[in-house]
Structure 1
Amino acid sequence: MANNDVENGEEVFVDAAEEVCGMDLSTAMEEARLACSYFFNNRFEEARTLMRPWAHKSMYHGLGYGTFMYLQAIMTFDPKDIETAIETLKQSVEVCNRFRRKNTIGESLGKMVKKVDYNSFTKEEIHAELCYAECLLLRAVLTFMEDETLISFLKGGMKIRACYQSYKECWYILEGRDWSKDADKMHFESGVRMGVGAFNLMISQLPQKILKLLEFVGFSGNKSLGLSELERGFHLEGSLRRVLCALVLLGYHLIATYVLGTSEGDLVMAQTILDDHLKLYPNGAWFLFFAARLEYVKGNFDLAIEKYTTSLNSQNEWRQFHHLCYWELMWCCIMSAQFKEGEEYADKLLQESKWSKATYAYQKASCMCMRMDELTPAEKQELSETMRSIPGLKQRIAGKSLPVEKFAVKKSLRFFAQGERLCLSALELIYAWNGIKILAKKYENIEKIYSIIERELRRLEKIRADNRSEYYYDDYLLANLLKGSCLAYMNSPLQAEECFKFIVSNEKKIKEDTYLVPNALLELGLLLLRANDLEQSRIILEHAKNNYKGYSLESRLHFRVHATLNKISTLQKGSQSVGSNPMDSYPSISRSPSPCHSKTSGTTNGTGPHLKPTKNGKSISTHP
């Protein structure tokens, strides 16, 4: 390791020029690529072993080893692993910083009045800038997870800001340097496009109020530009960070768009990426996982279960990866109404995973509630004990409780308040996680769930008025929200509209589940969008966003509203982009159902990404 001076009890690294690394840049990048190959072929320890010896001297080894420690930390959520990853990445940042360009005061002032000569930068300096940005981003994310203090939150924000500025500098280097004699350009370019693309994509998905704040301090985001940059990085064959571009694209198209409910993922693009990378890593757990996820979002739940099981069995070194598969397998079972099996996977997560035990406990309990009439006395006792444990399992991250855990605690208390019963609890979770859109991909899937909802509605309607609990309308309106959401995808928009309007008109009868009304308004707005009544849709959505506060899972609704308002704005401007078809909100299904309805039923034209500023149907009449 480099000889370091000690000043005031802290290590002070010497300048890179005074140290002989002993690892040239080309060799470092080649070893990083080999470690990446090991990692995605499930040879995790070999990847770490290759990176570890030079992690304190070589920027690419430091980045690689820090990344592996980061992945372990976010998968285990173990405080010790988080602390180890933070220290590793701190060292990685310092190593990269040693090789970065050091400007004098005169040079820094000169950048304000004249163009920087990026050809004067050495190869080590430009790659150090890129590695520095990547390490800083990972370090910032872990800072948010480290503890609950405001200081940690501010430190994380400052690191994100520094990372953002560093990526901008990398973009200037990519655009302003003469690359004609540099065979390693593709490695640098893929990293820049990955970072710039990911930043644009991430920021563009945030709700408007957060977006305005970020834009005020210099951040900006453009979704189409972000996707374009990531795709350009993916198409750089043989580049070091191509696989990272692939993973970000798969994560967006197959997970983020569905969890946030912001748009429809590009499944054709996802299939292209998977076909390519499964040839390179045929037994790689990560790409087998995404292949299973692709089948899941297509509504092929049985095939998805098979593929998740294959991914799970492909490696045993990282048990935490199994938890990701258990999570997905649980949802496959819930979506296909296999509640006993879903309960078993939730229980596995509860016993083994440290991420959110309150969430896992509630998911297990919600599956049991769906089988209430067939539970044995012992199972009913287990259900009660599981529900009773949930408040004590709630945790705090970055000083705040997870919204989904708050929801779980509230529902666990409600379970006891209404005689140890919950209404359509697992189906409520499907809605909360935006699963109705996935159910709609196959008619038989949504028909199965619809029949369960109708059966529960009939049970509720048979309860005499003098026997109804104080939560009766909470349950009844929940069933109507679920029913209307299904009908909207079953080519029955008028019946769906009736359900949503019924919820809004009975708002004052709700005791606790106040989230039902803004979500009903959201669904009405989506119906209007589908009917091409853009202005009325916008009014409804703005009403839902601005007039309801403090309800469960509020941020999830804001993500969906933000995305839908952006789509409306694009359509109203007459410049509809790819993927902005209003029909995307309700994709067509294979055949028209005949449900039994109850009575109450930026530009990319070479000027650089948004991240880089220049240097100088029938219209539905609905009123909220």
Structure 2
Amino acid sequence: MLSPPPKINGPYCVDNALDDLPAIKYAEYLFLNSNMVESEQYCLDIDSQKERLYVTSGYCLIQCLKAIMSYEDEDLQEANKHVKHGNNLAFKHRAPPAPLVSRIAGLVWENSAIGVGFIKSMTPVQRHAELLYAETFLSFRTMINIYLLLGRYLEVVDAEAAARAEALEDKSIDKDFRSGVELGVGASNLILSLMPDKLLAVAEIFGYRGNRDAGLSILMKAGGWVKGEKLPRVDAEEEGLRRTLADICLMCFHLVISTVTFRGVDLEMAETILDYNLKRYPNGVFFLIAQGRLFALRSQPKQAISSYTRALTAQTQYRSLHYISFWELAIANLALWEVGASLEQWHAQEREATWSKACYIYGAASCLLQIGGEGKEREARLEEAAALLDRIPGVVHKIAGKSIPIEKFVARKARKFASQGRHLLLPALELAYVFLAIDHAPRAILLEKILPVVEQALDTLKANESNIEKYESKAKRFWDDYCLAHFLEGVCWRFVTYPDKEAIITEEETTSRQINRVEAASRAQRALQQVIKHGFKIELDHYIVYHAHYELGRLYICMGDNEKARKHLDLVISGKPLEAVPALRKSQLMMRTTAVLEALDQGRESP
């Protein structure tokens, strides 16, 4: 356990700003080990006037996290106030700009007025202030420009040190500054690399390059990580202030962003980084949640639930952090097809969380409709679900006048429920697909719990296929239900046949549940082809057709038929309408399809 540094005495002096680094490292340790309130109070105790460069910036970070978790207007405004104050404080610590004449001359020949020369002329405090100014600046463009300049500065001084045969790195640059630059440059590269190719090509004209491999390498360098090695080459005594933040950034990429991209994703590396940090911060809520994500991606939802539950008990100070666990628990329980347990988590979020009330409400309503029941019990659940769905139009968020895609999706589902006599087919299973719970459901769950539910729905539809008018007399839409049921059947059989490449399948599961892969793949193929065949008859759920092409393309890749796979994936990404009405949720699908095609082009395996 890290001990608190000696108490700070005397008035604050700008020239001694870096003397506060041990204090902010201790505050960071408290925060990462789930002692959030103690960390926040420690910052206030040593800097009640909010005049110390690093302490103020650390306090800003805490306020930003609180605001992001709660998403309350009051918290967001408070965080914005603290960030502006932190940015102004960093600005006051920065080096004064060179005279205009010198800056103009610097455009013609190199001098100390602009660029790397200007950074070289700064004192250590001024360089740290420049870094903190970037970290607290609300303009992404300005932030990246500063990071790139500081990154070039490190490259130059390191090259000069190597030329002098001193070392591969300039030892005069402190680790705290270096880790901050590596975090900023690495994260910037990762973020830019997620942009569509056409948009990235435009960004590159202005000097912004999103090199994912370079970004990952720089972030790993901050922690001394080397692929294939279980321990870092940088220990806790030698690490920089932002080393753990770089580790968290890496875990976010491998465990969260990996849902929309494949290139660079390495779950083994994520596990190595996670194990190291869990030993350092055994009670760290962020690392326990990351552990749950790792289990979920490996199709181990039971173990994921255990980690998320531990995260709930690890800290009780910031209630808003519990909402992340509630969300993940709801999805993990859907992967186990424990719909009642998922309902409890949706209810908990619907009552308290504010990030997306529409999603939480729809999650609860879909589970209620899925559970159903008989007689009065069924009627009571139907009434409760109807009351919940009626609330959705009033809680949908808009950002810059635009609806969030997932909220637009659930809003349309709520309208569909009302328009077709309070009926939705397999709503919880459809939601499980949307949130990738089917992708990471264990094979036994798919075979024994989920597919029987789908087959029951298909039997009902087949019984009505000869008399569609009767089915639709109750305002139900036969072909919407028909295509949805076959789509979910196809997706389930696809993952039964070819589990996600990261899935851990036990020997017992392999031997006790042997399947005929050819037959199972054929069932998946036939089901998805039925969706494509009848997709033009869909009235509302047009997204199903696009996703059917995507899933069929992925299935063909698993079957080794890349030519057919490319045909379906190219249809998705072409932008051409695949049915009469444009579909919702296309942006995320486009990202995933692009990632699959990229993996296909490079001969790499995609999940």
Give TM-score, length-normalised by structure 2.
0.83
Q: 1:412 aligns with which of 411, 414, 420?
A: 414
1:131 and 1:366, CA in 2 relative to 1: closer, same or farther beyond 3 A? same
Q: Per-residue deviation at 1:494?
A: 3.3
1:514 and 1:211, CA in 2 relative to 1: closer, same or farther beyond 3 A? farther
1:319 and 1:224, CA in 2 relative to 1: closer, same or farther beyond 3 A? same
1:50 and 1:123, CA in 2 relative to 1: closer, same or farther beyond 3 A? same
Q: Give the aligned partner of residue 617 of structure 1.
A: none
- The amino acid that maps onto 1:177 is V
1:74 and 1:129, CA in 2 relative to 1: closer, same or farther beyond 3 A? same
1:569 aligns to 2:601 (yes or no): yes
1-structure distance, mates of 2:215, 2:560: 28
For CA contacts below 8 A with separation 6 or more, give which structure has more relative contact order: 1
Q: 1:75 aligns with which of 65, 69, 83?
A: 69
Q: Per-residue deviation at 1:190?
A: 1.6
Q: 1:41 aligns with which of 33, 47, 52?
A: 33
Q: Give the aligned partner of residue 231 of structure 2.
A: none
Q: Is the 8 A contact 1:487 1:496 kept in 2?
A: yes
- The amino acid that maps onto 2:487 is L
- The amino acid that maps onto 1:543 is L
Q: Is the 8 A contact 1:473 1:510 kept in 2?
A: yes
Q: Per-residue deviation at 1:317?
A: 0.9
Q: Per-residue deviation at 1:169?
A: 0.8
1:232 aligns to 2:221 (yes or no): yes
2-structure distance, mates of 1:510, 1:377: 28
Secondary structure at 1:174 match in 2: helix
2-structure distance, mates of 1:437, 1:445: 12
- The amino acid that maps onto 1:296 is A
1:20 and 1:42, CA in 2 relative to 1: closer, same or farther beyond 3 A? closer
- The amino acid that maps onto 2:427 is S
Secondary structure at 1:63 match in 2: helix
- The amino acid that maps onto 1:311 is A
Q: Give the aligned partner of residue 528 of structure 1.
A: 556
1:91 aligns to 2:85 (yes or no): yes
1-structure distance, mates of 2:102, 2:600: 47
1:355 and 1:37, CA in 2 relative to 1: closer, same or farther beyond 3 A? same
2-structure distance, mates of 1:395, 1:201: 28
Q: Per-residue deviation at 1:231?
A: 1.4
2-structure distance, mates of 1:55, 1:89: 15
1:468 aligns to 2:460 (yes or no): no
Q: Per-residue deviation at 1:113?
A: 3.7
Q: Give the aligned partner of residue 163 of structure 1.
A: 143
- The amino acid that maps onto 2:153 is I
Q: Give the aligned partner of residue 483 of structure 2.
A: 477
Superposition pairs of residues 142-153 of structure 1, within 5 angstroms: none
Q: Give the aligned partner of residue 315 of structure 2.
A: 315
Q: Is the 8 A contact 1:404 1:553 kept in 2?
A: yes
1-structure distance, mates of 2:382, 2:263: 40
Q: Per-residue deviation at 1:86?
A: 0.7
2-structure distance, mates of 1:162, 1:416: 48
Superposition pairs of residues 141-220 of structure 1, within 5 angstroms: 159-177=139-157, 182=171, 185-220=174-209
Q: C-alpha deviations, 1:465-503, integer Å up to 9, x for none?
A: 332325211111112222212222233433322222222
Q: Is the 8 A contact 1:23 1:58 kept in 2?
A: no
2-structure distance, mates of 1:31, 1:372: 56
Q: Is the 8 A contact 1:55 1:62 kept in 2?
A: no
1:103 aligns to 2:98 (yes or no): yes
Q: C-alpha deviations, 1:539-576, integer Å up to 9, x for none?
A: 432321211374121111111022122223333xxxxx
- The amino acid that maps onto 1:163 is M
Q: Give the aligned partner of residue 4 of structure 2.
A: none
Secondary structure at 1:206 match in 2: coil
Q: Per-residue deviation at 1:247?
A: 0.9
1:344 and 1:333, CA in 2 relative to 1: closer, same or farther beyond 3 A? same
2-structure distance, mates of 1:330, 1:342: 4
2-structure distance, mates of 1:55, 1:401: 40
Superposition pairs of residues 350-499 of structure 1, within 5 angstroms: 350-374=350-374, 375-439=377-441, 442-447=442-447, 448-463=449-464, 464-469=467-472, 471-491=477-497, 492-499=520-527
- The amino acid that maps onto 1:547 is K
User: After the TM superposition, which of the residue ranges 528-537 and 43-52 deviates more from structure 2?
Assistant: 528-537
1-structure distance, mates of 2:566, 2:245: 37
- The amino acid that maps onto 2:213 is S
1:507 and 1:232, CA in 2 relative to 1: closer, same or farther beyond 3 A? same
Q: Per-residue deviation at 1:25?
A: 3.7
Q: Per-residue deviation at 1:110?
A: 3.9
User: After the TM superposition, which of the residue ranges 104-113 and 219-228 deviates more from structure 2?
Assistant: 104-113
User: After the TM superposition, which of the residue ranges 102-111 and 36-45 deviates more from structure 2?
Assistant: 102-111
Q: Is the 8 A contact 2:443 2:495 kept in 1?
A: no
Q: C-alpha deviations, 1:288-312, integer Å up to 9, x for none?
A: 2222222222222222222211110
User: After the TM superposition, which of the residue ranges 548-557 and 478-487 deviates more from structure 2?
Assistant: 548-557
Q: Per-residue deviation at 1:348?
A: 0.8
User: After the TM superposition, which of the residue ranges 355-364 and 473-482 deviates more from structure 2?
Assistant: 473-482
Secondary structure at 1:199 match in 2: helix
- The amino acid that maps onto 1:488 is R
2-structure distance, mates of 1:210, 1:250: 26
1-structure distance, mates of 2:264, 2:107: 43
2-structure distance, mates of 1:323, 1:32: 27
1:509 aligns to 2:524 (yes or no): no
2-structure distance, mates of 1:58, 1:299: 47
1:128 aligns to 2:160 (yes or no): no
Q: Per-residue deviation at 1:364?
A: 0.3
Query: How many aligned positions are there?
Result: 533
1-structure distance, mates of 2:107, 2:64: 36
2-structure distance, mates of 1:74, 1:347: 21
2-structure distance, mates of 1:454, 1:266: 36
Q: Give the aligned partner of residue 517 of structure 2.
A: none
Q: Is the 8 A contact 1:207 1:558 kept in 2?
A: no
- The amino acid that maps onto 1:66 is C
Q: Per-residue deviation at 1:84?
A: 0.8
Q: Is the 8 A contact 1:56 1:62 kept in 2?
A: yes
2-structure distance, mates of 1:482, 1:125: 58
Q: Per-residue deviation at 1:106?
A: 3.3
Structure 2: unaligned runs, 5 residues or longer: 1-10, 111-115, 225-233, 498-519
1:329 aligns to 2:329 (yes or no): yes
Q: C-alpha deviations, 1:399-433, integer Å up to 9, x for none?
A: 22111111111101111222212111111112212
Q: Give the aligned partner of residue 5 of structure 1.
A: none
1:357 and 1:20, CA in 2 relative to 1: closer, same or farther beyond 3 A? closer
Q: Per-residue deviation at 1:367?
A: 0.7
1:218 and 1:477, CA in 2 relative to 1: closer, same or farther beyond 3 A? farther
Q: Per-residue deviation at 1:534?
A: 4.4
- The amino acid that maps onto 1:225 is A
User: After the TM superposition, which of the residue ranges 274-283 and 164-173 deviates more from structure 2?
Assistant: 274-283
1:518 and 1:376, CA in 2 relative to 1: closer, same or farther beyond 3 A? closer
Q: Per-residue deviation at 1:184?
A: 5.2
Give TM-score, length-normalised by structure 1.
0.80
1-structure distance, mates of 2:81, 2:479: 52
1-structure distance, mates of 2:470, 2:270: 52
Q: Is the 8 A contact 1:522 1:541 kept in 2?
A: yes
Secondary structure at 2:436 match in 1: coil
2-structure distance, mates of 1:20, 1:281: 31
Q: Give the aligned partner of residue 31 of structure 1.
A: 23
